[in-house]
């Protein structure tokens, strides 16, 4: 005898054997999400007046398979046995409430991540807590974690360390800490997201100047960094690392092709304005390759001024040519510093002598990098403050030592004192022109003239050694900057476009450097170049609503056909050809150079001034936006290899090149201008002061019972 259950199954199969019509199938398809399709060959059933009363059944399609009723989720591929007489509805119900494809559940999940939590604000200088409430968005917490990993250069494994997990458990117990694999994935997602934002920004910018530098990692991988510099429509200077990628070699052709490929990828190959590089011969080849590229894509001045030589590197070459004359005294001080720093006992003895000598200085001895003169300058400047202390130390001496290995003598310290004074000007000059978050193009000529003036003064020195040093440096100076044709002419125009300088400062600077006759001729050459450049911009940007002449004279041509109209028109055409007569300015550039600045405008920096006054110079402001964005040094690209005072660390170097690029580029894009790069090395002097304060009981945060091992030794 058949069971009642079998009868029900057979009865159901007979009732549902009729296939749906084409119209019914279309109507059933309309109930699905756009990305969900009915499966071909599947025997769907559709009862418009379904007897199923539970709300969750509306999220399912019913179909027959092998004579049995099944339910298919509308939002994912999962299916369930659905005969109410044979199967329960628990699985169907649970899935309806948890399916992540269902928009209802997505909204529920978002709601769970936004919970109102109590928080306590500590009153200033008291232990009282003020209770309130705020919404903790766990998604925001996770984004902040990703931001921290990238900006602070932390390894992905940082999230799996016990100390960090303990901190999060105390600070936000509801937050589920992702694994290092998830963190790496999120970092890449953020990189691609920020890249798209930057790509949109490039679409609105005018022209872009770039700096580039190359470097070899500890994995012996050749990397190239490419940094874009441009002024946006709000007259804000932007610096963005747009590529940090492996290259086949450090040869010029390889560098040029890598830069070209990157610019094409970003869609800015037709916006390249200048390339700032150091003085390596390979960079000359790279710039020649890029010059050919810009001539194909379109450029200003036919790409003749594309190549900008890094001023910081030229200063480096000039200084090294000079300080070779003082190699002995520098080596002696360097060896004395090494002798002290290489032994803990000597350091303690040195500190004791400093206290006895009552030398009030927070500086501490530092090693230098012999290939970097600025670090040598810092070493000498610091050591000079403790010259009396060195004389109290038993520095190694003997006949077996070379001359430059002996202790510094009084005449050595006198030479170092003058050398520090001499190098101090070059050190400050290098720092001023190496900025990447403020305009430097308009400062270049002034800094070069300042250097020239220093060398001229030192050439008159009574000290023959320093006189010889100045002469050697002057010779190298003339090699790069002795003639206006040896410098990129954009540097001269940048000073002209500084509203606080204009042409008069250019003329005075060149006259001081080269004398009245030659200086006047060079100034005229610069002015002629500026006018030709302006004319090129005028032709490029002049439209029907922008007049050929940016003058203030109201002489609109009369369009009427009355008597004398042709004569008046001819008069006005003749007037436009006049230069400077009767107070008439033939162009925006003339008007700009003739305008006087008020006291209020003199207090503004160049970008602020152009942001407020640019609308008065329709064409000239476009020219200023391109030229003022030119960087004068490659420090912006070099810093990518040495962030936070250290070379790219082993963690970053051990990653894949793609991940290294993602982390370094995103770090640069996220890091705010006003936030300095924090040095990873602690200040030893500060730590020593903290220890003393704690030992004296001056710290309110530490118990008096804290015992230091040092005090027990």
Q: What is the pLDDT of residue 563?
A: 45
> Tokens 């720093």 appear where?
341
Which segment of 171-185, 293-307, 470-484 scores lowest on mean pLDDT? 470-484
Residues 336 and 474 in one domain: yes
DSSP 606-661: HHHHHHHHGGG-TTHHHHHHHHTT--SSSHHHHTTTSGGGS-S-HHHHHS-HHHHH
pLDDT of the residue at 597: 61
Check whether 275 has a pLDDT greater than 90. yes
pLDDT of res. 266 = 93
In a domain, 515, yes or no: no
- For residues 361 and 478, state if they share a domain: yes
**Quick check: 351 pLDDT over 90?**
no
423 by Cβ neighbours in 10 Å (0-12 / 13-18 / 19+) ranks as: buried
pLDDT, tens digit, 9 for 90 and up, residues 130-176: 545 556 788 889 999 999 999 988 889 899 999 999 999 888 888 89
In a domain, residue 63? The reply is yes
Q: How many domains does the chain have?
A: 3
Are 152 and 26 found together in one domain? no
- Is residue 551 predicted with pLDDT exceeding 90? no
**Where residue 680 falls among pLDDT bands split at 50, 70, 90?**
very low
Residues 142, 97 share a domain? no
Residue 645 lies in a domain: no
Query: Is 389 contained in some domain?
Result: yes
**Which parts of 38-185 are beta strand (E)?**
43-45, 60-65, 68-73, 79-81, 114-122, 129-137
Q: Clarify whether residues 102 and 142 are in a common domain.
A: no
Task: List pLDDT tens digits, range 556-596.
Answer: 334 444 445 566 666 556 555 554 444 444 678 888 888 87
10 Å Cβ neighbour count for 451? 22
Verify that 447 and 332 share a domain, yes or no. yes
Sorted by sequence, the CB contacts under 8 Å of residue 224 that are 6+ apart come out as 212, 213, 214, 215, 243, 244, 245, 246, 247, 255, 258, 259
Answer yes or no: is 699 within a domain.
Answer: no
- Span 394-451, pLDDT tens digits: 787 777 777 778 888 888 888 888 888 888 888 888 888 877 778 888 888 888 888 8
| d(C-alpha 350, C-alpha 344), whole Å | 10
Residue where one domain finishes, among candidates 468, 487, 506: 487
pLDDT attached to residue 265: 92
Give the tens place of pLDDT for each residue, 354-380. 888 877 776 778 777 766 777 888 888
Say if residue 544's pLDDT is above 70.
no
Q: In the listed set 107, 122, 152, which residue is the last one of a domain according to the structure?
A: 107
Cα angle 226, 229, 231; round to 5: 160
Q: Which of 426, 460, 487 is the last residue of a domain?
A: 487
In a domain, 494, yes or no: no
Are 149 and 99 in the same domain? Answer: no
pTM above 0.85, yes or no: no
- 153 falls within a domain: yes
470 plus 398 within the same structural domain: yes
**Is the domain of 165 the same as that of 98?**
no
- Range of 459's domain? 316-487
Confidence at residue 682, expressed as pLDDT on a 0 to 100 scale: 43
User: What values do phi and psi take at 593, rounded to 5?
Assistant: -70, -30
Mean pLDDT of 451-462: 84
pLDDT at 565: 58
| 159 within a domain of the structure (yes/no) | yes
152 and 86: one domain?
A: no
* Exposed / middle / buried, residue 125 (Cβ in 10 Å: 0-12, 13-18, 19+): exposed
CA dist 28 and 133 (Å) reads 47
């Amino acid at each position: 005898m058949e069971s009642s259950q079998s009868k029900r199954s057979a009865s159901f199969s007979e009732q549902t054997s009729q296939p749906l019509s084409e119209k019914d199938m279309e109507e059933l398809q309309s109930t699905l999400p756009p990305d969900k399709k009915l499966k071909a060959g599947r025997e769907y059933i559709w009862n418009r007046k379904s007897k199923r009363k539970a709300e969750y059944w509306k999220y399912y399609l019913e179909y027959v398979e092998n004579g049995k009723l099944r339910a298919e989720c509308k939002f994912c591929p999962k299916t369930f046995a659905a005969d109410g007489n044979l199967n329960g509805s628990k699985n169907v119900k649970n899935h309806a409430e948890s399916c992540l494809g269902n928009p209802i559940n997505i909204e529920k999940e978002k709601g769970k991540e936004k919970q109102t939590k109590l928080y306590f604000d500590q009153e200033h200088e008291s232990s009282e807590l003020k209770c309130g409430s705020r919404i903790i968005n766990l998604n925001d917490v996770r984004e902040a974690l990703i931001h921290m990993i990238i900006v602070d250069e932390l390894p992905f494994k940082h999230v799996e360390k016990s100390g960090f997990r303990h901190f999060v458990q105390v600070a936000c117990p509801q937050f589920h800490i992702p694994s290092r694999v998830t963190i790496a994935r999120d970092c890449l997602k953020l990189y691609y997201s920020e890249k798209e934002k930057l790509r949109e920004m490039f679409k609105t910018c005018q022209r872009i100047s770039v700096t580039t530098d190359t470097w070899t990692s500890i994995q012996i991988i050749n990397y190239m960094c490419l940094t874009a510099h441009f002024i946006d429509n709000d007259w804000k200077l932007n610096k963005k690392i747009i590529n940090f990628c492996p290259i086949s070699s450090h040869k010029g052709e390889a560098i040029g092709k890598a830069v070209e490929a990157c610019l094409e990828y970003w869609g800015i190959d037709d916006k390249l304005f200048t390339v700032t590089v150091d003085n390596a011969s390979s960079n000359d080849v790279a710039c020649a390759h890029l010059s050919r590229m810009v001539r194909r894509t379109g450029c200003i001045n036919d790409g003749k001024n594309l190549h900008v030589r890094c001023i910081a590197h030229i200063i480096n070459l000039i200084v090294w040519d000079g300080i070779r004359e003082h190699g002995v005294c520098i080596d002696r001080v360097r060896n004395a510093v090494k002798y002290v720093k290489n032994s803990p006992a000597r350091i303690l003895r040195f500190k004791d002598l400093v206290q006895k000598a009552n030398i009030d200085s927070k500086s501490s001895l530092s090693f230098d990098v012999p290939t970097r003169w600025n670090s040598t300058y810092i070493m000498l400047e610091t050591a000079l403050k403790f010259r009396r202390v060195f004389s109290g130390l038993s520095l190694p001496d003997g006949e077996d030592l070379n001359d430059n290995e002996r202790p510094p003598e009084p005449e050595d310290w006198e030479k170092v004192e003058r050398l520090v004074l001499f190098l101090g000007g070059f050190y400050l000059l290098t720092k001023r022109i190496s900025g990447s978050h403020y305009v430097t193009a308009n400062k270049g000529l002034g800094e070069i003239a300042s250097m020239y003036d220093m060398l001229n003064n030192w050439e008159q020195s009574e000290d023959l050694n320093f006189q010889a040093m100045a002469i050697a440096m002057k010779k190298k100076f003339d090699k790069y900057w002795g003639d206006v044709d040896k410098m990129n002419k954009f540097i001269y125009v940048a000073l002209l476009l500084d509203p606080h300088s204009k042409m008069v400062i250019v003329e005075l600077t060149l006259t001081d450097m080269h004398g009245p006759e030659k200086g006047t001729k060079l100034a005229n050459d610069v002015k002629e170049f500026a006018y030709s450049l302006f004319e090129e911009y005028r032709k490029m940007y002049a439209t029907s609503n922008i007049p050929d002449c940016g003058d203030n004279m109201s002489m609109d041509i009369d369009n009427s056909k009355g008597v004398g109209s042709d004569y008046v028109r001819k008069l006005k055409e003749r007037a436009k050809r006049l230069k400077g007569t009767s107070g008439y300015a033939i162009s925006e550039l003339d008007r700009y150079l003739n305008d006087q600045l008020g006291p209020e405008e003199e207090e503004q920096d160049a970008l602020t001034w152009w942001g407020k006054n640019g609308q008065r110079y329709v064409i000239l402001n476009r020219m200023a936006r391109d030229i003022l964005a030119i960087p004068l040094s490659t420090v912006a690209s070099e810093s990518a290899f040495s962030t936070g005072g250290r070379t790219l660390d082993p963690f970053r170097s051990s990653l894949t090149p793609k991940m290294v690029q993602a982390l370094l580029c995103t770090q640069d894009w996220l890091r705010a201008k006003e936030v300095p790069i924090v040095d990873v090395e602690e200040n030893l002097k500060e730590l020593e002061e903290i220890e003393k304060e704690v030992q004296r009981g001056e710290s309110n945060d530490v118990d008096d019972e804290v015992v230091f091992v040092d005090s027990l030794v």
